[in-house]
Amino acid sequence: MTMKKFLALTGLIVACSLPFAAQSLECSVKPKVTSIEAPHSYMFVGNSYTYYSSGLAGAVNGLAKAAGIKVRRNRMVTIGAADLGWFNVWELVRPSGMASTYVDHSDGGKIKKFDFRKEKVFDAVILQDNSTGPIHPQRKEIFEKYAKQHAYDLQCFGIQPLIMMTWARKNKPEMTQQLADATTKVGNEADAMVIPVGLAFAEAIKQDPKLELYRADKTHPSPEGTYLEACVVFASMYHRSPVGLKYYGIEQVEEKTAHFLQEVAWNTVCEYFDWKK
């Protein structure tokens, strides 16, 4: 083989391998829990990463509705800048606790109670820690302690725990793998599913660097960021592709952008959990 042919062949091999390398997720820890029973009721516990852009619970519910999935009940409990140590999850989910009450707007705004003698308070609860909690020197022990404690408490009530993997700051992409590895490790120890939102953010940015997933502060999600977040949560919880769903978020994103984010979410989830498409 001539040197010219050798170099041409080498270039072809490198070119063919690049797309595969681009799809490799920035996570070195494999998740232990790769699927859960599809929930018909769920609650989010977290901070501003959960409530920005009109809230993650409503966006996930919109995707579920578009997919023909009936959600009986969803709730969002959030405190700005909070870590998981700020919440009494046991009190939130016990049958006679805070989650048992609701406001009936069809009856003059009266406060009423659910009857949980025949069903669980929630089928699943998604826990979201402080954005840097899993890797912060002063906060990571708090994350580890309360992620495991809350997961155990939820499991005592027959509720499936999920832990959200947060994303890197816009100007600190190196945080992606740090957060992914730390969150997956703790999720494995807690027997909880980890939702790979941070990995999806990184993949979307790789594929379309001009798409703005962040607010001006370079940390909170834009409407597009929240929509991607919702797509990853939906795909993880329901083991279903969001691709093609005719729902584009509470603060609606453009249809073309939504389709791109749906694809990124599904590809990320399938690779992270090692699912067959």
* pLDDT for the residue numbered 217: 98
Residue 79 covered by a domain: yes
Residue 160 covered by a domain: yes
In this predicted structure, the answer to whether residue 16 has a pLDDT above a threshold of 60 is: no
Question: What's the rounded mean pLDDT across residues 248-277?
Answer: 98
Decide if 165 contacts 201 (C-beta within 8 A).
Answer: no
Span of 107-111, 123-127, 171-175, 193-197 with lowest mean pLDDT: 107-111
Count of the separate structural domains present in the chain: 1
DSSP structure class, residue 249:
T
Torsion of CA 180, 42, 130, 218, to 10 degrees: 80
For residue 33, what pLDDT band results from cuts at 50, 70 and 90? very high
Question: For residue 170, which of 204, 213, 206, 137 has the smallest C-alpha distance?
Answer: 213
Q: What is the mean pLDDT of the chain?
A: 92
* pLDDT for the residue numbered 128: 99
Question: For residue 63, which of 219, 261, 199 has the smallest C-alpha distance?
Answer: 261
Residue type, 218: K
Contacts of 89 (CB under 8 A, 6+ apart): 45, 125, 127, 150, 153, 154
Better pLDDT: 193 or 23: 193
CATH number of the domain bearing residue 135: 3.40.50.1110
Percentage with pLDDT > 90 across the chain: 84
Span of 95-99, 162-166, 220-224, 272-276 with lowest mean pLDDT: 95-99
Residue 45 covered by a domain: yes
Residue 122 covered by a domain: yes
Decide if 124 contacts 130 (C-beta within 8 A).
Answer: no
* pLDDT for the residue numbered 190: 99
What token pair was written down for 120? 């669980």
Residue 95 covered by a domain: yes
Query: pLDDT tens for residues 66-122?
Result: 999 999 999 999 999 999 999 999 999 998 888 788 888 899 999 988 888 778 899
Phi/psi of residue 268, each to 5°? -65, -50
- Lateral strand order in the sheet of 41-46: 73-78, 41-46, 124-127, 160-164, 193-195
Q: What pTM does this model have?
A: 0.90
Question: Which domain does 123 fall in, by range?
Answer: 40-273
Query: pLDDT tens for residues 180-190?
Result: 999 999 999 99
What token pair was written down for 171? 């100007």
* pLDDT for the residue numbered 8: 47
Task: Report how far apart, in Å, the C-alpha atoms of 181 and of each of 25, 141, 174 are.
Answer: 11, 15, 12
Residue 34 covered by a domain: no
Residue 26 covered by a domain: no
Place of tokens 């509470």: 250
Helices of type H across 24-139: 48-51, 56-66, 89-93
* pLDDT for the residue numbered 277: 85
For strands 110-113 and 101-104, give the pairing: antiparallel
Phi/psi of residue 83, each to 5°? -110, 175
Residue 217 covered by a domain: yes
Decide if 204 contacts 228 (C-beta within 8 A).
Answer: yes
For residue 21, what pLDDT band results from cuts at 50, 70 and 90? very low
Query: pLDDT tens for residues 115-143?
Result: 887 788 999 999 999 999 999 999 999 99
* pLDDT for the residue numbered 6: 45
